[in-house]
Every structure is written in C-alpha cells, then in structure tokens.
C-alpha cells in the first residue's frame, strides 16, 4: 500500500519524467526546426537574384554586386558605409532618406539599388569638401535648423537640389521643394529661413 510519501515521490517522478520528455521533445522539435531553417535560409540566400551595377556616388565610381531586393538606402548605408543618409519611416513618407539621383531628390528607401545602375548619386556625406561645409549647411547651422537632426540630411539634399536649379526661390517655392521632408521637431520656419539665407548668400 502506498503512503503519502510514495505518492509524493510518484508525482515527482511523474513530473520529472514528463519534464524530461517535454525537454527532449522540444529539443527534437527545435533541432528539426533549426535544420529546416538552415536549409531554407541557405536556399533563400542562394536563390536571391543579384545584379552587378555601376554607379557614381559623391563623385566616386563603384562597381558592385547587389541583391536585387536591396534599396538604395541599404546599399549606401550598409554596403558603402555612407551613413549620413537617415532611415526614418522606411516606407516613403518622411523624406529623411532623401538623396539626389542624377540631381533629382528621391527617397532612397523606396528606390531599388539596381535602379541606380549607370547613374549618379549624391548624399549628404558628399556635401562638405575637406571639412568645409557648404553655404547651405552653414546657413542651417546659423539658423539652428537642425534640432534633433534626424531629418537634416534629407532636408539638405532637397534644398541643395532646389538651389541648384533655382538660385532665387521664393518662400513658397522653398516650402514646396521641402514638402516631402517631414520634421518631427517641427522646425520648419528655421529650415525655410536657412534656405532663404543660403539663396541670398551664394546658393547651395
Ligand atoms: S525613410 Fe524614406 S521616406 Fe522615410
Ligand atoms: S530636426 Fe528633429 S526631425 Fe527635424
């Protein structure tokens, strides 16, 4: 006849045995999942379409193999080390990732790297030369246009494109050119004033 001690032991044994079984079952299932994951991962990596593209970035020519799914932001930041371009929303809404593609502002998060093949890209990293900031960058500093600064590189690139095609923009034209660049700090007046000052003192 079993006493309460036996019954306690039995429960322990049962729980212990069940626990071991659960651990073993989970380990088996995890191993199987890991193996499956590795296989899927390896296959996925091998199957990713790739292309070799040639492009000029801030005046430097690059010939590079890219995955066809890479965005221009990924290429610039993760593979060319140009981290001045910021990634905000990553879905074409905020403009923080703005770069110039053949002189025109584009959202690099919504532009595939392969679309830049044979083209010229300019990023904020290429504005200052030998540590000398551009007139526009200096105007941004003078007007305290960067607050947290997250939107600044995108704002600078849109404003650079504007001033290069229109040396004397009106206030309305500046606002229009920067309409695709959101500033979460809401420092819009200072940003527009900085672009106005740059236009009045020598352009971009
Ligand atoms: S990160 Fe590209 S538009 Fe926001
Ligand atoms: S300065 Fe902070 S988001 Fe524009």
CATH number assigned to the domain comprising residue 166: 1.10.150.120
Same domain? For 41 and 95 the reply is no
* Tally of structural domains, the chain: 3
The residue whose CA has the least distance to atom 4 of ligand 2 is 183
User: Could you tell me if the CB of 149 is within 6 A of ligand 2?
Assistant: yes
Banded model confidence at residue 109, pLDDT cuts 50, 70, 90: very high
For residue 51, what is the enclosing H or E element?
strand 50-57
Same domain? For 134 and 97 the reply is no
Same domain? For 43 and 65 the reply is no
Interval between CA 32 and ligand 1 midpoint (Å) = 39
Q: Which ligand is nearest to the Cα of residue 146, counting in written order?
A: 2
Same domain? For 69 and 13 the reply is no
User: Could you tell me if the CB of 148 is within 6 A of ligand 2?
Assistant: yes
Is 193 or 45 the better-scoring residue by pLDDT? 193
Q: Rounded mean pLDDT of 116-125?
A: 98
Same domain? For 112 and 174 the reply is no
Same domain? For 97 and 59 the reply is yes
**pTM of the prediction?**
0.79
Same domain? For 54 and 119 the reply is yes
Same domain? For 147 and 79 the reply is no
**Pocket test residue of 97, 140, 187, 195 for ligand 2, highest count of atoms within 8 A of CB:** 187
Same domain? For 135 and 187 the reply is yes
Instruction: Domain of residue 98: give its range.
Output: 50-123
Q: Which ligand is nearest to the Cα of residue 155, counting in written order?
A: 2
Query: Tell me, what CATH number does 62's domain have?
Result: 3.10.20.30
Atom of ligand 1 nearest to the CA of 87: 1
Same domain? For 41 and 103 the reply is no
User: Could you tell me if the CB of 90 is within 6 A of ligand 2?
Assistant: no
pLDDT (tens digit, 9 = 90+) per residue, 3-57? 444 444 444 443 344 344 333 333 334 444 444 444 455 556 678 999 999 999 9
Same domain? For 58 and 109 the reply is yes
- Given 97, 123, 149, the domain boundary residue is 123
pLDDT (tens digit, 9 = 90+) per residue, 143-165? 999 999 999 999 999 999 999 99
Same domain? For 119 and 160 the reply is no
3-state secondary structure the chain: CCCHHHHHHHHHHHHHHHHHHHHHHHHHHHHHHHHHHHHHHHHHHHHCCEEEEEEEECCEEEEEEEECCCEHHHHHHHHCCCCCCCCCCCCCCCCCCEEEECCEEEEHHHCEHHHHCCCEEECHHHCCECCECCHHHHHHHHCCCCCCCCCHHHHHHHHHHHHHHCCCCCHHHHHHHCCCCCCCCCCHHHHHHHHHHHHHCCCC
Q: Which residues line ligand 1 (CB under 6 A)?
A: 87-90, 92-97, 107, 109
pLDDT (tens digit, 9 = 90+) per residue, 74-106? 999 999 999 999 999 999 999 999 999 999 999
């Amino acid at each position: 006849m079993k006493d309460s001690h036996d019954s306690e032991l039995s429960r322990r044994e049962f729980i212990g045995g069940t626990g071991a079984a659960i651990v073993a079952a989970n380990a088996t299932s995890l191993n199987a999942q890991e193996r499956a994951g590795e296989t899927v991962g390896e296959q996925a990596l091998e199957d990713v379409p790739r292309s070799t593209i040639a492009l000029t970035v801030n005046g430097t020519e690059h010939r590079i193999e890219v995955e066809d799914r890479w965005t221009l932001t990924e290429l610039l930041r993760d593979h060319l080390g140009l981290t001045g371009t910021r990634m905000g929303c990553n879905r074409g809404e905020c403009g923080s990732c703005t770069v110039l593609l053949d002189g025109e502002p584009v959202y690099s998060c919504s532009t595939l790297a392969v679309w830049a093949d044979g083209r010229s890209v300019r990023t904020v990293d290429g504005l200052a030369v030998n540590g000398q900031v551009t007139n526009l960058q200096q105007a941004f500093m003078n007007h305290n246009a960067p607050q947290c600064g997250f939107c600044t590189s995108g704002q600078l690139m849109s404003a650079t494109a504007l001033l290069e095609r229109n040396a004397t923009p009106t206030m309305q034209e500046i606002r229009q050119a920067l309409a695709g660049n959101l500033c979460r700090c809401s420092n819009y007046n200072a940003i527009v004033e900085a672009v106005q000052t740059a236009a009045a003192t020598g352009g971009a």
